[in-house]
């Protein structure tokens, strides 16, 4: 049976609760809780007004030789638009068609803020899923929507992804030469520029361009532009390259190397193992995506860190390798995998398994795509390394606000969104082309499959 004191306590608490609720409702309803309270809600409670997509277009340009594609998403707010990288340089015109003939109709009239819904619906809207053409189109759209969201919030994109986990983005750059000594000289030069990480190659990927005329060309087989790789020579050259660079450049610089899926699996294991005495930072792409089962044997053979993933099309391709710790660094090509949204999901998954990021940033990524890489790099805790953005002066003129390389770091500006714009008039002066030189053959003309 309640006592008199208990009843009094309940009445007091009830009165306090009613008073607190009155004040709370006064704040959120606009009704004054006191004479001094303003009648209007604080500005932060008003939220952002609804905004619709009014146009989606593709902008193609090739100022430095590689085809670059940018998606521009325009909105119902005059002057507010977003940019995203959709570059698939080898099949650029197919991506432009996908954007202009399909995404335009798919997007116009939709809410610009619902990025996840837009990505998921675009992914299944054609029924047949994946593939670099579809994924690059979606990626450009996804990045552009994030760019708009950052501009709407008046924040750089990394702030919307959780804020900075580091002050800038450490990068690796590329050193190559026709001899190990020439490659080592380049490494020394990059070290003087402040780089702590350098990827070393001898010739092109797999040593292309270093040997004489192969038999298939003497016989008139294939095309004149087809490249030749002497796989045996490459296998022998890799440890010599590492040994020379280490001897000339010392132990402080971190060395990387890219096999680029150009060896048979057992040969790739031999090459990775041969670099072990020189403790590489990582060896990239030892196998093609079709040969993922070989990673278990490679893990058992060596402790050299591994990087993989730039050729993955489907975000789900990362699930099993990450959960089984098959490699150490996630090589995502942001436009290949579908944009910022899926890249963040893969990065977060990697964090749980101690696997770090190493986003793909070659010359056939637009400055908009490099900026997207960098904003994610700044935000995620399990960042590992970033491929450096070597952006020409002409490209910077076309893409004002491009990321800047300094002392081995990539820096983004603090403008809202991705921080990169485009001069469409200047971009149009450098039209795209249809050439591609990714055909590589053995001595007898057999295609080497990357």
Q: Which residues are catalytic?
A: 205, 260
Phi-psi region of 128 (alpha: psi -120 to 50; beta: other; left: phi over 0): beta
Displacement of CA 21 from its chain's centroid (Å): 48
- Cα distance between residue 191 and residue 172, in whole Å: 11
* Secondary structure letter of residue 48 according to DSSP: P
What burial class does residue 429 get, using C-beta atoms within 10 Å of its C-beta: 0-12 exposed, 13-18 middle, 19+ buried? Answer: exposed
Closest CA to 445 of 219, 162, 121: 219
Q: Quick one: the chain helix, strand, coil %, rounded to 5? A: 45, 15, 40
* Secondary structure letter of residue 448 according to DSSP: P
- Cα distance between residue 156 and residue 147, in whole Å: 9
Task: Give the CA distances from residue 6 to residues 16, 71, 138, 150, in Å, rounded to whole numbers and listed in that order.
Answer: 15, 67, 63, 54
Q: Which two tokens stand for residue 221?
A: 């087989």
Provide the terminal-to-terminal Cα distance of the chain, rounded to the nearest Å: 82
Closest CA to 301 of 328, 257, 266: 266
Question: Is-contact 356 329, C-beta < 8 A?
Answer: yes
Listed in sequence order, the DSSP H helices in 75-223 are 92-98, 104-107, 115-125, 132-153, 157-160, 180-192, 215-218
Q: What is the DSSP string of 262-330?
A: -S-HHHHHHHHHHTGGG--SEEE--S-GGGGGGHHHHHHH----EEE-TT--SGGGGHHHHHTT--SEE
* Secondary structure letter of residue 100 according to DSSP: I
The CA-based diameter of the chain, rounded to the nearest angstrom, is 108
């Amino acid at each position: 049976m309640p006592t008199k004191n208990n009843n009094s306590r309940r009445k007091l608490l009830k009165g306090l609760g009613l008073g607190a609720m009155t004040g709370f409702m006064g704040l959120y309803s606009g009704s004054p809780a006191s004479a001094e309270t303003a009648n209007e809600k604080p500005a932060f409670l008003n939220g952002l007004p609804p905004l619709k997509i009014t146009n989606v277009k593709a902008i193609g340009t090739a100022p430095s030789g590689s085809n670059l594609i940018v998606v521009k998403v325009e909105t119902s707010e005059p002057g507010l638009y977003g940019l995203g990288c959709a570059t698939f340089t080898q099949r650029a015109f197919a991506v432009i068609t996908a954007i202009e003939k399909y995404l335009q109709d798919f997007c116009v009239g939709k809410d610009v803020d619902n990025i996840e819904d837009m990505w998921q619906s675009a992914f299944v809207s054609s029924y047949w899923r994946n593939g670099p053409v579809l994924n690059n189109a979606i990626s450009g759209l996804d990045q552009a929507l994030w760019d708009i969201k950052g501009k709407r919030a008046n924040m750089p994109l990394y702030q919307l992804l959780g804020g900075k986990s580091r002050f800038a983005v450490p990068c690796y750059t590329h050193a190559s030469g026709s001899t190990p000594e020439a490659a080592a000289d380049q490494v020394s030069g990059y070290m003087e520029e402040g780089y702590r990480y350098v990827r070393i190659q001898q010739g092109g990927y797999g040593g292309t361009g270093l040997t004489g005329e192969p038999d298939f060309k003497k016989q008139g087989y294939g095309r004149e532009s087809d490249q030749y790789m002497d796989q045996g020579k490459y296998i022998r050259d890799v440890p010599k390259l590492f040994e020379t660079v280490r001897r000339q450049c010392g132990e402080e610089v971190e060395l990387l190397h890219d096999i680029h899926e150009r060896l048979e699996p057992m040969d790739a294991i031999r090459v990775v193992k041969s670099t072990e005495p020189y403790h590489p930072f990582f060896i990239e792409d030892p196998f093609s995506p079709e040969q993922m089962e070989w990673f278990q044997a490679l893990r058992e053979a060596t402790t050299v860190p591994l990087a993989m993933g730039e050729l993955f099309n489907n975000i789900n391709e990362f699930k099993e390798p990450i959960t089984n710790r098959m490699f150490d660094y996630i090589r995502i090509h942001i436009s290949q995998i579908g944009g910022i949204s899926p890249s963040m999901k893969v990065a977060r998954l990697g964090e749980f398994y101690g696997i770090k990021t190493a986003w793909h940033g070659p010359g056939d990524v637009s400055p908009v795509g490099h900026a997207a890489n960098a904003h994610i790099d700044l935000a995620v805790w399990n960042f590992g390394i970033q491929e450096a953005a070597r952006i020409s002066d002409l490209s910077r003129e076309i893409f004002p606000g491009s990321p800047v390389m300094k002392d081995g770091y990539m820096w983004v500006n603090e403008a809202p969104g991705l921080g990169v714009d485009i001069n469409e008039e200047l971009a149009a002066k450098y039209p795209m082309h249809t050439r591609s030189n990714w055909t590589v053959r053995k001595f007898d003309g057999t295609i080497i499959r990357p």
